[in-house]
Structure 1
Amino acid sequence: MLVELSIPLPPLPTAAELPDSNDTPVDNELQNLVPNLLLAILAVIWRDRQDWFFGVDMGIYYLPTFPRKAIVPDGFLSLGVERRSRPSGRRSYVMWEEHWTAPIVVVEVVSQTYGGEYDSKMEKYLDLGALYTVIYNPDHAKRDNHAPFEVYQRVEDEFVLRSQEQFWIPELQLGIGVATGVYKGWERDWLFWFDQTGDRYPSPDEQVSQAEQQVEQVEQRAIQAEQEVQQANQALQNLRTRMQQRGIDPDNL
């Protein structure tokens, strides 16, 4: 008779005990700017929600057998977790402190130094339990024999390419895709969130510009209204003058 021995794992480390960075610098701005734009847009459209977290260049600890080994996506989005889990914010995303809530989406921005986005990292995201992997490769797609934008969906134990264009993610009730816009004063193609009609949500720069345009329109309407009042008053004064010239007292009609 075989007896199965259960060897308990040692206590898992807390976020405070784990490194909060892999100390690996990004090799271009987009690796940081692209996910930060997605976060900035979510912070506006989901400002009243407290059940989500978007990490940028943050370590995810997910292996209880190797608790100090992390994977670091350029960006990732989880639902069903606290927006602010502690006053100082998360140092890292520790799965056993997040009730084992895996990200819905991970985002990778491919750079000059290939980081295994299409193979080794995808395997880790399968182990992690992510549902979608979004890969943005604007500069090296031909080198890697891929499209500049690809969305992969988890199907059983593999990621399957679902789209190379704007893609609707039902779990988020948001679409994601590439569009031209302005962020940090830089006009170029970015990753954006889209609504169900296919319209993209604006960047912070564009939100400011739209607000300024609305203020300008209100001011112009106010100026126009003031001009109309002045014109009406002038017309009334002209009428009074004509009446007085004809010997009619307009105040005694």
Structure 2
Amino acid sequence: MVQLPTQSDPPLSPRQTLPTMYDLPSDNPEEPGLPDEFHFLQPLLLFLTFQPANWNPELVFSACDLNLYYSVTHPQWYKRPDWFGVVGVPRLYEGQDLRLSYVVWQEEVNPFVVVELLSPGTQEEDLGRKVQTPGNPPTKWQVYEQILRIPYSVVFSRYTNELQAFHLVGGHYAPVNLIDNRLLVPELELSLGLWQGSFRGINRLWLRWMTLEGELILTPEEEAVMAQERAERLAARLRELGVDPDELE
């Protein structure tokens, strides 16, 4: 129960007075489940490769299809990005719990980058073409640009393989010119670009995080394969030198 302040007490902050992630719903009864398999796999690849080089991994958080509560005046309002990334918050909520949702007045840090995957039903809103109607919550574009002021907003279409990126400049999103079909995010020492390859057995054009120079940031599975290949090359070289690697301790 929230304790009301006395006249001598300083005013309470939204963090102290508004609902926490434990109080707010983590599901969306109007949109049960995921719309398709791509909307599961693509955010997962972003999640696995979001590794800002200049941040401690314990202070990096990213999520797929998680409720993002953004309004201190309407604490039940939320958006549900396909993927978003945050730097400067503990990996676990208050350092101890897996998040049920992301509540900005509790976290006190807004997302740094958000990705939306276009579908026919969401295209107008994801690209900022949908207008807020009176009495209804703001659109995703308005929330990302004007309320949370997320520095980078990215939209990717699996149907056209088109990547569109926007950077917050002067309080408004401006289109970003891609470099080698990549969005450069120097603040995180990362870039976000398109990659043709196989992920979880599906070969297609995927959106994934890379270094600023364009080198792939490997998933755990890719790292394991690379380690196995290095071990096999080393074993072959030892055999060429007349050494049996199986006899080495």
TM range (shorter): 0.7 to 0.9
Q: Is the 8 A contact 1:51 1:83 kept in 2?
A: yes
Which residue of 2 is the match for residue 244 of structure 1? none
Which residue of 1 is the match for residue 132 of structure 2? none
2:149 aligned residue (115, 119, 129): 129
Deviation readout 1:170-189 (Å, 9 max, x if unpaired): 22110111111221122211
Q: Is the 8 A contact 1:183 1:205 kept in 2?
A: no
User: Partners of 2:201 and 2:212 in 1: how far apart?
Assistant: 27
Q: Is the 8 A contact 2:209 2:216 kept in 1?
A: yes
SS in 2 for 1:179: strand
Pairing 1:168-183 to 2, within 5 Å after superposition: 168-183=184-199
2:71 aligned residue (63, 68, 92): 63
Which residue of 2 is the match for residue 207 of structure 1? 223
> Structure 2 unaligned runs (5+)?
1-10, 129-138, 245-249
**Identical counterparts, % of pairs:** 27
Which residue of 1 is the match for residue 105 of structure 2? 96
Greater relative contact order, per chain length (Cα 8 Å cut-off, separation 6+): 2
Which residue of 1 is the match for residue 134 of structure 2? none
SS in 2 for 1:163: coil
1:157 aligned residue (161, 166, 171): 171
Deviation readout 1:30-74 (Å, 9 max, x if unpaired): 222112112112369789521111011111111011101111100
Deviation readout 1:85-120 (Å, 9 max, x if unpaired): 243311111111112x11110011112432521113
Q: Is the alpha carbon distance of 1:167 and 1:177 closer, same or farther for their aligned partners in structure 2, counting shifts above 3 Å?
A: same
Aligned residues: 215
Pairing 1:20-31 to 2, within 5 Å after superposition: 20-23=26-29, 24=31, 25-31=33-39
TM-score using structure 2 length: 0.77
Q: Is the 8 A contact 2:24 2:76 kept in 1?
A: yes
Deviation readout 1:170-216 (Å, 9 max, x if unpaired): 22110111111221122211112121222222334432321221121
Q: Is the 8 A contact 1:41 1:204 kept in 2?
A: no
SS in 2 for 1:221: helix
Which residue of 1 is the match for residue 232 of structure 2? 216
Q: Which amino acid is 1:98 matched to?
A: E
User: Partners of 2:55 and 2:203 in 1: how far apart?
Assistant: 25
Q: Is the alpha carbon distance of 1:45 and 1:180 closer, same or farther for their aligned partners in structure 2, counting shifts above 3 Å?
A: farther
When Rg is computed on C-alpha atoms for both structures, the one with the higher figure is: 1
Q: What do you get for the CA RMSD once the two structures are aligned?
A: 2.6
Q: Is the alpha carbon distance of 1:102 and 1:123 closer, same or farther for their aligned partners in structure 2, counting shifts above 3 Å?
A: same
User: Partners of 1:193 and 1:227 in 2: how far apart?
Assistant: 40
> Structure 1 unaligned runs (5+)?
1-5, 142-146, 229-253
**Structure whose residues are more often helix by fraction:** 1
SS in 2 for 1:31: helix
Q: Which amino acid is 1:137 matched to?
A: S
Pairing 1:181-196 to 2, within 5 Å after superposition: 181-196=197-212
Q: Is the 8 A contact 1:53 1:79 kept in 2?
A: yes
2:21 aligned residue (4, 8, 15): 15
